Structure 1
Amino acid sequence: MTDAAQLRLQLAVFALVSACFTNIYITQPVLPVLQQEFQASSVEVSFTISAVVLGIALANLPFGVLADRLPIRPIILTGSGCMLIGSLICIFSDDLWSLIGGRFLQGLFVPALTTCLAAFLAKSLPPARLNMVMGYYVSATVVGGLGGRLLGGWIHPPLHWRYAFVSAGVFLLIATVMSLRTLPQRTIQPTTHTKTGFLELLRHRDLLALFLCGAGGFGIFSSIFNYLPFRLSEPAFDFSTEQITLMYLVYVMGIFMGPIAGRIGNRIGSGSTLLMGTGVLALALLCLLIPAVWAVVVGLVLVCAGFFTVHAGAVGAINGKLSSGQGRANALYVLFYYVGGWIGITIAGVAYSRQGWLAVVIMSLLLLLTLVNAGVSERRSLKNA
């Protein structure tokens, strides 16, 4: 693959994944608007987000199986088409439950553009190029998450929140055409005769360590960012809502860390990359204990740098070590990832309510052990190879 072809592939992957993630968070900043428009409770309008997450959780493992059996182009075409149908339902919905139904449909087909795409790339690219492309993949999830919130909360409010679905739909359509024209031609051979079932993958110690790494890493990341507003509202800071929102802009750090982590992984190996990212996260958590604005800013920047380094390193390591079953492996990673985030937020909530911010940081430091285990496991497997 030439450098020009490599760049086109990276851009296509970046566009498709970011367009997909743009749709996931599109209603988050306008939940109060939805509450007023549909005369609903805050819990009911929050279903416009949780319905997407539920759809992803339900469909992720089945799509992981399909990714190992079917060519990627029909999967992407079907996934994008169904997500666009979901967008149309949202645009023309005249009651809240129609909107929630459209969002659930979108969530069901998100794995077609994420889990299946990652599995296809793992089967189609050599390890060095895979690390780079997966770095852009991770960055695209950041851009998409930010883009959806900006569309829903900043760009379209002067018009109407429904226009955000129009813009996101057009973006997804363009990205789909771009990816179908750019993805390398490859006929995927059925792998039904190889032991690549979910249980077989979970019995693989190195893979299980990486799955737990994703769970632990996202558990730390989601806990810190979920309870940060409470920390910054304490007397030590007494931040306003606007000031707290500004702190979240450090999230863009993930845009740059994905590709950088891919390059680092090529040079020093996935295991060392994971351990390096873990060290950065540990330093970040210690900074966040200091009751000073500069420490919070530095700590959040380091949290993003460390987390996205670990995330990109784990995804690259999983896909780099398999010759079959990539679809199932990516599906398991995503499942562990989101479950880990949910568990992390839940435990951190109990910890914060009882012992405050210090307890949240201590819990996060303990979760770093899952990251250390994955890094050590990867380095050991490299030496034994």
Structure 2
Amino acid sequence: MRIQSAVFALVTTAFVHIYLPQPVLPLLAQTFDSDMVMVSFTVSAVILGMALSNLPFGLLADRRSIRPIITVGGVALALGALVCAAAQHLWLLIAARFLQGLFIPAATTCVVAYLAKNLPLERLNVVMGTYVSATVLGGMGGRLLGGWIHPPLHWRYAFVSAAVLTLLATAWALCTLPRSDIGANKAPDAARFRVLLTQRSLLRIYLCGAGAFAVFSSTFNYLPFRLAGAPFHLTTEQITLLYLVYVVGIFIAPLAGRIANRFGAAPAMLGGVTVLAASLALVLAPTLACVVLGLTGICTGFFTIHAAAVGALNRRLSSGQGRANALYVLFYYIGGWSGITLTGLAYKFSGWAAVVGLCWLLLLIPLRTGIIEKGGR
């Protein structure tokens, strides 16, 4: 239990960094005299960095003990946050965020591989749901830290706070995790990246995560611009409070793992897609109550799909957990980066309705995965 708690804290603090500037993107646009697409790179640059570094970290997770990986990752994340806090130019902020993204997999991909190797199969779905809950708490905490806990005019202090939290969580993990873990000293297993990519059953799950996260990240990334304008005209603090709907994922993710255990991954995926699609319609409405309800549904649907996909992936693996999870996260974050970039252009030229329309199209990817999984192919 102490190990799971340490892992939970580590993953949570890692995810705090990803979305830290998201609630204050309009403020960053003013601070650096830039537009919404450029300042959105402070989020998408992290996601791109994570996507690029996941494969190397996946290899390390299959070959090395997790302790030195966590040490390097935690220190690099904290230092990157301090550079962000001091940045006086937008491109320096974006570059520091990209470097942070390169080291986040040390506390995400590698930890998933560690759990997959060290836990019995019957507990894996539920614990993976708990892991997803940590990502939820971290995502919500980062948004609250960036836009609410610290006054918006002092957003730089949020990066300093995140650096301190990361160092504390890293120290706790190093004091708690065993000095050697199962599989750390084993010879490299036979599951190569090429093999894992050519298995259709695994590739479908990778694409499912990518499509679902593209929808989720796009919706939440441009939400501040939508709510800051007509007809809402919300302040930064009010917009940040809406990210509290994220708390739904803390409870939904473990529940999705139990549902997948009992009924299978496919029903969980299809249920999540249905809820997510309906909720996107609600965020089109010009009333705040509908937007809040829609955001709650988007969180419910997305985290159901994500938890079911992560659990289904790791239940299929007998070896190569580090590589397979690295590939999943690679697809996942490339999906998020692509979604943010494409919907940003759609929003700039055609407005919020274009963002929602593109998200509906992206939902066809996890829908197809769920249908095929249900058919047992």
3-state DSSP of counterpart to 1:68: helix
Q: Using the TM superposition, name which of 343-352 and 10-19 deviates more.
A: 343-352
3-state DSSP of counterpart to 2:363: helix
- C-alpha change, 1:231 and 1:170, in structure 2 (3 Å) is closer
Q: Residue 241 of structure 1 corresponds to which residue in structure 2? A: 234
CA positional deviation for 1:278: 1.7
Pick the aligned partner of 1:326 from 308, 321, 340.
321
Please give the alpha-carbon distance, in whole angstroms, between the structure 1 residues aligned to 2:172 and 2:117.
20
Q: Residue 219 of structure 1 corresponds to which residue in structure 2? A: 214
Q: Residue 115 of structure 1 corresponds to which residue in structure 2? A: 109
Q: Residue 280 of structure 2 corresponds to which residue in structure 1? A: 285
Q: Residue 376 of structure 1 corresponds to which residue in structure 2? A: 371
Please give the alpha-carbon distance, in whole angstroms, between the structure 2 residues aligned to 1:96 and 1:58.
22
Please give the alpha-carbon distance, in whole angstroms, between the structure 1 residues aligned to 2:344 and 2:114.
38
CA contact (8 A) 2:260 2:268 kept: yes
Please give the alpha-carbon distance, in whole angstroms, between the structure 1 residues aligned to 2:299 and 2:29.
32
Q: Using the TM superposition, name which of 310-319 and 42-51 deviates more.
A: 42-51
Please give the alpha-carbon distance, in whole angstroms, between the structure 1 residues aligned to 2:17 and 2:138.
8
AA in 2 matched with 1:165:
F
Please give the alpha-carbon distance, in whole angstroms, between the structure 2 residues aligned to 1:351 and 1:88.
33
* 2:182 is the alignment partner of 1:186: yes
Please give the alpha-carbon distance, in whole angstroms, between the structure 2 residues aligned to 1:47 and 1:366.
23
Deviations 1:181-220 (A, max 9, x none): 44464242545451x2222111111111111111111122
Q: Residue 84 of structure 1 corresponds to which residue in structure 2? A: 78
Question: What is the 5 A alignment of 1:1-385?
Answer: 5=1, 8-29=2-23, 41=34, 48-90=42-84, 102-157=96-151, 160-183=154-177, 185-190=181-186, 192=188, 194=190, 196-228=191-223, 238-242=231-235, 245-288=240-283, 292-349=287-344, 359-381=354-376
Report the TM-score when normalising by structure 1: 0.82
CA contact (8 A) 2:148 2:241 kept: no
Please give the alpha-carbon distance, in whole angstroms, between the structure 2 residues aligned to 1:26 and 1:233.
18
CA contact (8 A) 1:191 1:325 kept: no
Number of residues of Structure 1 aligned to a counterpart in Structure 2: 372
Please give the alpha-carbon distance, in whole angstroms, between the structure 2 residues aligned to 1:220 and 1:93.
30
CA positional deviation for 1:145: 2.3
AA in 1 matched with 2:234:
T
C-alpha RMSD over aligned residues: 3.4
Q: Which has the larger radius of gyration?
A: 1
CA positional deviation for 1:96: 6.6
Report the TM-score when normalising by structure 2: 0.83
CA contact (8 A) 2:196 2:324 kept: yes
User: What are structure 1's unaligned runs of at least 5 residues?
Assistant: none
Q: Using the TM superposition, name which of 261-270 and 355-364 deviates more.
A: 355-364
Q: Using the TM superposition, name which of 69-78 and 8-17 deviates more.
A: 8-17
CA contact (8 A) 2:83 2:96 kept: yes
- C-alpha change, 1:320 and 1:90, in structure 2 (3 Å) is same
AA in 2 matched with 1:14:
F
- C-alpha change, 1:269 and 1:71, in structure 2 (3 Å) is same
CA contact (8 A) 1:10 1:136 kept: no
CA positional deviation for 1:314: 0.8
CA contact (8 A) 1:278 1:306 kept: yes
- C-alpha change, 1:48 and 1:209, in structure 2 (3 Å) is closer
Please give the alpha-carbon distance, in whole angstroms, between the structure 2 residues aligned to 1:271 and 1:213.
11
Tell me the percent identity.
Answer: 59
CA positional deviation for 1:113: 0.7
Please give the alpha-carbon distance, in whole angstroms, between the structure 2 residues aligned to 1:50 and 1:308.
20
